């Protein structure tokens, strides 16, 4: 309960709640699209740079098991989401595959929120986690698209190109390469821009996401109670697997908690872009509502505090 309250009463979560409130009361508050795009570019590049610097200080031996755990879970999560949607959710194959692609990938903003929650709890995190974000994002989308069994001319190839060259992966990987090549000493000069203002920029980004998420609430009726329940159960199941996998891979309790939040999250940047290309017949009212309107706020309020607790438990086993 203390972890839950601590995570709820934080600038990041409250900024998200303020954005939702603005939409509910029909305020004219809005973040101009150009500023929103600028914030997303800034945050993704900052994450990549920080991860690259951490990689430059991390031995290859230390990365073997975390990367292995990431790849295993990135294959498991879309498959479990697909069959749960097909069975309990009673969705068709295409819509189930679209949802699977989202839950097999990762939300960078949930990752950031989990990092801040771990630090606020006094837990150390592993510096290579941003690298795992990039690794986790792509395989789940690929598997989700394959589960749809799409046939045709280049639909899958075009979608994969969109994922790999999209800004999320491109900035994360590019930032990591820059950070890894430059190292701590050369990157110190960029700290006043990429480190100090980071939390403030994240609050503005969450404010806009709150407005967007509240705008999807009307789609909850279309989703139905079964899908709403799945949107809460899947992050708990996947997140618990992530916490356990992170602990077994040698991560610190804080790192395992953040890893659990990553595995338990659902993408709403890279995955929607890929799904729009490969599965145009899939319903955005289902996969966007689940990822952004249900799972994202659920993780902010309940999932992350629970993952912090589970990681401490698993570290003592």
Q: What percent of the chain has pLDDT over 90?
A: 37
* Rounded Cα distance, 73 and 40, in Å: 26
- 130 touches 136 (CB < 8 A): no
Residues 53-65 have pLDDT tens digits of 877 887 888 889 9
pLDDT of 161-186, one tens digit each?
A: 766 776 767 887 888 889 989 988 99
Over 70: is that where the pLDDT of 219 sits?
A: no
Task: Give the separation between CA 236 and CA 115, rounded to whole angstroms.
Answer: 18
Does position 76 have pLDDT exceeding 90, yes or no? yes
Any residues with CB less than 8 A from the CB of 134 and at least 6 apart, and which?
48, 51, 169, 172, 173, 176
> How many residues belong to the chain?
317
Number of C-beta neighbours around residue 277 at 10 A: 19
Q: Is the dihedral of CA 198, 306, 80, 297 positive or negative?
A: negative
Select the more confidently predicted residue: 103 or 152.
103
Distance CA 54, CA 263 (A): 21
Which domains are delineated in the chain?
2-315 (1.20.1530.20)
Q: CB neighbours (10 Å) of residue 261?
A: 32
User: Which residues lie below 8 Å from residue 126, measured CB to CB, with a gap of 6+?
Assistant: 54, 66, 251, 252, 254, 255
Give me the pLDDT at residue 143, please.
Answer: 87
CA distances from 243 to 178, 255, 266 (A): 29, 9, 16
Give 121-130 pLDDT, tens digit per residue: 889 999 889 8
Q: Which long-range contacts (CB under 8 A, 24 or more apart) does 77-81 make?
A: 77/103, 77/104, 77/140, 77/238, 77/241, 77/263, 78/103, 78/104, 78/140, 78/141, 78/143, 78/144, 78/147, 79/104, 79/143, 79/147, 80/234, 80/237, 80/238, 81/144, 81/234, 81/238
Cβ atoms of 262 and 106 closer than 8 Å: yes
Q: Which residue has the higher pLDDT, 251 or 44?
A: 251
Q: How confident is the model at residue 150 (pLDDT cuts 50, 70, 90)?
A: very low
The lowest-confidence range among 76-80, 92-96, 205-209 is 205-209
- Give me 278's structure tokens: 């490969």
Close Cβ partners of 8 (under 8 Å, ≥ 6 residues apart): 14, 301
Give 226-235 pLDDT, tens digit per residue. 888 999 999 9
Report CA 184 to chain centroid distance, whole Å. 26
DSSP assignment of 200-268:
HHHHHHHHHHHHHHHHTGGGHHHHHHHHHHHHHHHHHHHHHHHHHHHHHTT--HHHHHHHHHHHT---S
- Select the more confidently predicted residue: 237 or 120: 237
Q: What pTM was estimated for this model as a whole?
A: 0.77
Q: Are 298 and 110 in contact (CB under 8 A)?
A: no
Contact 313, 124 (CB under 8 A): no
């Amino acid at each position: 309960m203390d972890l839950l309250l601590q995570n709820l009463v934080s600038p990041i979560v409250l900024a998200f709640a303020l954005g939702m409130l603005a939409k509910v009361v029909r305020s004219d508050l809005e973040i101009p699209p150009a500023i929103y795009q600028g914030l997303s570019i800034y945050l993704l590049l900052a994450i990549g740079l920080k991860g690259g610097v951490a990689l430059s200080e991390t031995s290859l031996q230390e990365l073997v098991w975390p990367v292995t755990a990431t790849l295993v879970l990135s294959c498991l999560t879309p498959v479990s989401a697909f069959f749960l949607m097909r069975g309990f959710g009673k969705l068709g194959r295409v819509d189930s595959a679209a949802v699977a692609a989202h839950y097999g990938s990762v939300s960078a903003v949930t990752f950031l929120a989990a990092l801040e929650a771990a630090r606020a709890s006094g837990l150390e995190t592993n510096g290579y986690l941003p690298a795992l974000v990039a690794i986790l994002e792509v395989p789940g989308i690929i598997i989700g698209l394959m589960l749809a069994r799409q046939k045709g001319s280049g639909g899958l190839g075009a979608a994969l190109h969109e994922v790999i060259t999209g800004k999320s992966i491109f900035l994360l990987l590019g930032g990591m390469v820059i950070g890894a090549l430059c190292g701590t000493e050369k990157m110190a000069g960029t700290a006043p821009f990429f480190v100090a203002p980071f939390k403030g920029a994240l609050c503005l980004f969450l404010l806009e996401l709150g407005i967007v998420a509240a705008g999807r609430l009307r789609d909850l009726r279309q989703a139905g109670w079964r899908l709403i329940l799945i949107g809460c159960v899947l992050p708990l199941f996947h997140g618990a697997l992530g916490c356990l996998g992170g602990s077994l891979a040698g991560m610190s309790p804080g790192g395992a908690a953040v890893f659990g939040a990553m595995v338990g999250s659902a993408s709403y940047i890279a995955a929607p872009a890929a799904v729009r290309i490969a599965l145009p017949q899939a319903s955005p009212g289902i996969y966007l509502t689940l990822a952004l309107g249900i799972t994202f706020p659920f993780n902010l309020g309940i999932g992350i505090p629970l993952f912090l607790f589970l990681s401490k438990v698993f570290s003592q086993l």
